[in-house]
Amino acid sequence: MEEAQRRALRRGRARLVAALRVAPLWEPLEERGLFSRPMLEELQSAGSRGEQARQLLIDLETRGKQAFPIFLSILRDTGQGDLADMLVKECEWLPAPTQLVDLRPVELELRGEKHNKNANFPERLSIPVPAESERPRTPPAPGRGSAVDKRNRNLVYELKADPCGRCLILNNVNFSRASNLSTRVGSNVDCEKLEKRFKALRFDVLTRQDLKAQEMISELQTLAEQDHSALDCCVVVILSHGCQTSHIQFPGGIYGTDGKPIPVETIVNYFNGSHCPSLRGKPKLFFIQACGGEQRDPGFVVDCDSPGDEAPGGSLESDATPFRAPVGNVDEPDAVASLPTPSDILVSYSTFPGFVSWREASRGSWYVETLDSVLEQYARSEDLLNLLLQVANTVSAKEGRYKQIPGCFNFLRKKFFFACK
Residues tagged active-site: 241, 291
| Cα(237)–Cα(196) distance, integer angstroms | 13
* Spacing of C-alpha 137 from chain mean position: 29
254 near 262, Cβ under 8 Å?
A: yes
Classify strands 233-239 and 284-289 as parallel, antiparallel or unpaired.
parallel
Which of 364, 411, 403, 406 has the alpha carbon at shortest distance from 389? 406
Q: In what order do the strands lie in the sheet with 316-318?
A: 316-318, 358-360, 364-365
- Based on the number of CB atoms within 10 Å of its own CB, is 345 exposed (0-12), middle (13-18) or buried (19 or more)? buried
| Cα(65)–Cα(227) distance, integer angstroms | 42
The number of beta carbons lying within 10 Å of the beta carbon of residue 8 is 23
Long-range residue pairs from 118-124, CB within 8 A, at least 24 positions apart, any chain? 118/363, 120/363, 120/369, 120/372, 120/373, 121/373, 121/376, 121/377, 122/373, 122/374, 122/377, 122/394, 124/93, 124/377
Burial state string for 69-101 with b = 16 or more CB within 10 A and e = fewer than 16: ebbbebbeebebeebbebbbebbeebbbbeeee
Beta carbons within 8 Å of 318's beta carbon, 6+ residues apart? 291, 296, 356, 357, 358, 359
| Cα(398)–Cα(155) distance, integer angstroms | 34
Beta carbons within 8 Å of 211's beta carbon, 6+ residues apart? 170, 172, 219, 256, 257
Phi, psi of 84 (to 5 degrees): -65, -45
Strand locations in 138-193 (E): 165-171
Strand locations in 15-66 (E): none
Beta carbons within 8 Å of 301's beta carbon, 6+ residues apart? none
3-state secondary structure (DSSP) of residue 200: helix
